[in-house]
Chain A
Amino acid sequence: MATIKIFRYTGTTPDEHDITSQNTLLQAADIHETEASSNPIVVPETGENMSFWASARLRVTENEQNHTINNMKWYTDGSNDLGTDLNLDVALASAYDQAVGDEGVAGSAIDGNHGHIISAPADAFNYTSESPLDIDATVPSATGTGDIGDYVVYQGKVGTSNLGGESNQEEVVFQWDQQ
Chain B
Amino acid sequence: MIWKAVLDDGSVIPEYNQDGTYNKYQEIDKSKLASFSVFLNGNTYTVDLSDKAKKFIYVKRTMQKPGRKPVDLYILGWQKGKEQSILYITEQGEAILSGAWGKGPYCKPKFEFE
> Which A residues have a C-beta under 8 Å from some C-beta of B?
1, 4, 6, 19-24, 65-68, 71, 143, 171-179
Q: State in angstroms the CA–CA spacing of A97 and B59 once bound together.
A: 33
Q: Is the CB of B62 within 8 A of A178?
A: yes
> Closest residue to B26 on the A side, CB-wise?
A66
Task: Tell me, yes or no, whether B24 is within 8 Å of chain A by CB.
Answer: yes
Task: Tell me, yes or no, whether B60 is within 8 Å of chain A by CB.
Answer: yes
Count, chain B residues at interface, CB 8 A: 16
Q: Is the CB of A22 within 8 A of B26?
A: no
Q: State in angstroms the CA–CA spacing of A108 and B56 once bound together.
A: 48
A22 contact set on B, CB distance < 8 A: 66-67
**Which one of A23, A66, A178 contacts B60 once the chains associate, using CB atoms below 8 Å?**
A178
**Which one of A1, A65, A171, A174 contacts B26 once the chains associate, using CB atoms below 8 Å?**
A65
Q: State in angstroms the CA–CA spacing of A24 and B66 once bound together.
A: 8
B66 contact set on A, CB distance < 8 A: 6, 19-24, 171-172, 174
Contact with A along B13-41 (1 / 0, CB 8 A): 00000000010111000000000000000
15 extra A-B contacts, CB within 8 A, seeds A172-B65, A174-B65: A19-B67, A20-B66, A21-B67, A22-B66, A22-B67, A65-B22, A65-B24, A65-B26, A143-B26, A175-B63, A175-B64, A176-B61, A177-B60, A178-B59, A178-B62
Task: Tell me, yes or no, whether B101 is within 8 Å of chain A by CB.
Answer: no
Q: Is the CB of A175 within 8 A of B61?
A: yes
Q: State in angstroms the CA–CA spacing of A55 and B17 once bound together.
A: 42
B65 contact set on A, CB distance < 8 A: 171-174
> Which B residues have a C-beta under 8 Å from some C-beta of A?
22, 24-26, 58-68, 113
Q: State in angstroms the CA–CA spacing of A71 and B59 once bound together.
A: 11
Q: State in angstroms the CA–CA spacing of A173 and B63 once bound together.
A: 6
A173 contact set on B, CB distance < 8 A: 63-65
B22 contact set on A, CB distance < 8 A: 65
Q: State in angstroms the CA–CA spacing of A66 and B63 once bound together.
A: 20
**Which one of A20, A66, A172, A179 contacts B59 once the chains associate, using CB atoms below 8 Å?**
A179
B59 contact set on A, CB distance < 8 A: 71, 177-179
Q: State in angstroms the CA–CA spacing of A177 and B61 once bound together.
A: 4
B58 contact set on A, CB distance < 8 A: 179
A4 contact set on B, CB distance < 8 A: 62, 64
> Closest residue to A130 on the B side, CB-wise?
B104
A23 contact set on B, CB distance < 8 A: 66-67
A71 contact set on B, CB distance < 8 A: 59, 61
